[in-house]
């Protein structure tokens, strides 16, 4: 046991961590929209570290060039917008940039030395954090430059944010098949995977029966390739999961704001809460649509792997939580619309009622004025055969009495209206 503890092994590892970045697409723009593609295609001119992932169907030049399923060995489409790479002496950092202000940071470390799984994990996390933060500063500088040179209506930048928000890191041991026979490797792999969803994968890997174990936070990949489909699948899985978490968080915050505070909020506060609910709902629905379309365009091997990953992560439950909040948002928006319609109806009714009451008062004033003019000018009723007894009576009433009579009559009408509404 002492010999095993004393032996130092070198490991190549890959750390993947979702990061909230100050760049994304405006709500409503698809990743393959024309404006988005125009923006992305100009990025290599801004920085040579940018790499654009071409869809497989663009390589077809015959009558089937528009088909999504010409090339079965590559993804027909991808949610990823582009990648940005920075090289270090013993590490490579790649930012996989996605639409919802999210990127997946891929940190490839070479020759990490450790004697056991615990120390190895600590070394990976420490080195990954150091190179990631250093690379992030250069990445922000690139985004600033891209915003100034080629930003358009489809893009959204907030480069004032300098410190990255990192969600959670996953760590992958990248091993050649021949390395499994080295003394001490098997024990480290078993310890590495002991708290994952399938710890029994360690035995199968050590026996050469399994090429990867990718279930929960700590992974092992055997015989990795430069663009390994397993890492690419995990990048997509982490984006889908993190973006769904972000959508759920936005929905939760919008719901809390809509339900918090005084129930009788001011109209502008109600409208702000309603807009927040609607925006969060649209973002969540669009993300769900994008994920479903992306999974449809994956190769069969990637689709099978990502379904296995999602099953281990209980991704369906996360989506279901989001759907429950979407339903709550819809109910709250409908309640807000109903309340707003009711308030508008009340306002309209009271305005019309006020106009009616003023019309009653105006009628009393008109009768008083006309009766007095008729008495003062006999020519106004020369066709009546004599002065009108009614107009004579009204003309004799004091103006204050007529005004009070009009007010009283208007008050009686309002009382009947109030009783009818009550």
pLDDT score for 379: 62
Of the candidates 183, 207, 171, the one whose C-alpha atom is nearest the C-alpha of residue 12 is 171
Residue 6: inside a domain: yes
Last residue of a domain, one of 316, 344, 372: 344
Q: Does residue 6 carry a pLDDT above 50?
A: no
Q: Pick the residue with more confidence: 284 or 14?
A: 14
pLDDT score for 422: 62
Q: Does residue 41 carry a pLDDT above 70?
A: yes
| Residue 223: both structure tokens together | 């015989």
| Same domain for 146 and 54 | yes
| C-alpha pair distances (Å), 356 with each of 147, 315, 393 | 59, 61, 26
For residues 365, 369, 372 and 377, what is the CA-based torsion angle, rounded to 10 degrees?
Answer: -160
pLDDT score for 116: 92
Go through the chain and tell me how many residues it has.
422
| Lowest-pLDDT choice from 53-62, 137-146, 179-188, 308-317 | 53-62
pLDDT score for 371: 76
Q: What share of the chain is helix, strand, coil (3-state, %, to 5)?
A: 60, 15, 25
Q: Pick the residue with more confidence: 373 or 381?
A: 373
| Same domain for 157 and 29 | yes
| Same domain for 156 and 272 | no
| Same domain for 185 and 238 | no
Q: Tell me the per-residue pLDDT of 140-153, one tens digit each, with 9 for 90 and over.
A: 999 999 999 998 98
Q: Tell me the per-residue pLDDT of 234-276, one tens digit each, with 9 for 90 and over.
A: 999 999 999 999 999 888 888 877 776 555 555 566 677 777 7
Residue 83, phi then psi, degrees to nearest 5? -120, 155
Which residues form the domain of 360?
354-421
Residue 171: inside a domain: yes
Last residue of a domain, one of 311, 344, 377: 344
pLDDT score for 151: 87
For the residues 58-68, what does the mean pLDDT come to? 52
Residue 161: inside a domain: yes
Confidence of residue 2 (pLDDT cuts 50, 70, 90): very low
% of the chain with per-residue pLDDT over 70: 84
Q: Does residue 119 carry a pLDDT above 80?
A: yes
Cα dihedral sign for 134, 138, 139, 143? Answer: positive
Residue 333: inside a domain: yes
Which of helix, strand or coil describes residue 20?
Answer: strand
| Same domain for 314 and 202 | no
Rounded distance, CA 294 to CA 372, Å? 85
| Same domain for 167 and 92 | yes
Look over the chain and give the mean of its residue pLDDT values, rounded to a whole number. 83
Residue 63: inside a domain: no
Q: Does residue 313 carry a pLDDT above 90?
A: yes
pLDDT score for 161: 65
């Amino acid at each position: 046991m002492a010999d095993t503890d004393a032996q130092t092994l070198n490991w190549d590892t890959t750390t993947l961590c979702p990061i909230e970045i100050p760049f994304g697409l405006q709500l409503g723009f698809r990743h393959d929209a024309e404006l988005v593609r125009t923006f992305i295609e100009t990025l290599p001119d801004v920085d040579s570290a940018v790499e654009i992932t071409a869809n497989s169907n663009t390589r077809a030049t015959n009558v089937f060039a528009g088909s999504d399923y010409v090339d079965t060995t590559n993804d027909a489409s991808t949610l990823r917008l582009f990648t940005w790479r920075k090289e270090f002496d013993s590490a490579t950092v790649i930012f996989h940039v996605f639409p919802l202000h999210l990127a997946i940071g891929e940190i490839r470390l070479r020759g990490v030395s450790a004697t056991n799984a615990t120390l190895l994990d600590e070394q990976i996390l420490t080195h990954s954090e150091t190179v990631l933060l250093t690379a992030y500063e250069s990445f922000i500088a690139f985004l600033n430059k891209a915003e100034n040179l080629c930003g358009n209506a489809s893009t959204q930048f907030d480069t004032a944010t300098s410190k990255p928000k990192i969600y959670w890191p996953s760590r992958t041991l990248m091993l050649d098949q021949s390395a499994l026979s080295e003394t001490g490797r098997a024990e480290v792999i078993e310890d590495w995977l002991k708290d994952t969803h399938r710890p029994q994968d360690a035995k199968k890997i050590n026996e050469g029966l399994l090429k990867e174990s990718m279930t929960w936070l700590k992974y092992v990949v055997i015989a990795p390739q430069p663009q390994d489909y397993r890492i690419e699948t995990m990048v997509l899985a982490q984006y889908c999961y993190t973006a769904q978490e972000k959508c759920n968080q936005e929905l939760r915050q919008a719901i809390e704001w809509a339900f918090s505070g005084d129930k009788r909020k001011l109209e502008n506060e109600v409208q702000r809460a309603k807009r927040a609910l609607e925006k969060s709902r649209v973002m969540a629905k669009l993300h769900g649509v994008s994920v479903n379309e992306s999974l449809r365009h994956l190769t069969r091997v990637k689709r099978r792997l990502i379904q296995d990953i999602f099953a281990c992560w209980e991704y369906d439950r996360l989506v279901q939580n989001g759907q429950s909040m979407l339903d709550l948002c819809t109910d709250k928006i409908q309640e807000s619309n109903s309340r707003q319609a009711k308030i508008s109806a009340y306002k309209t009714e009271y305005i019309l009622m006020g106009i009616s009451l003023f019309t009653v008062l105006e009628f009393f004033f008109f009768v008083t004025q006309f009766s007095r003019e008729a008495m003062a000018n006999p020519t106004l009723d020369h066709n009546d055969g004599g002065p009108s007894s009614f107009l004579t009576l009204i003309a004799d009433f004091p103006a204050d009495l007529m005004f009070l009579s009009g007010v009283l009559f208007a008050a009686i009408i309002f009382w009947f209206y109030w009783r009818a509404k009550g």
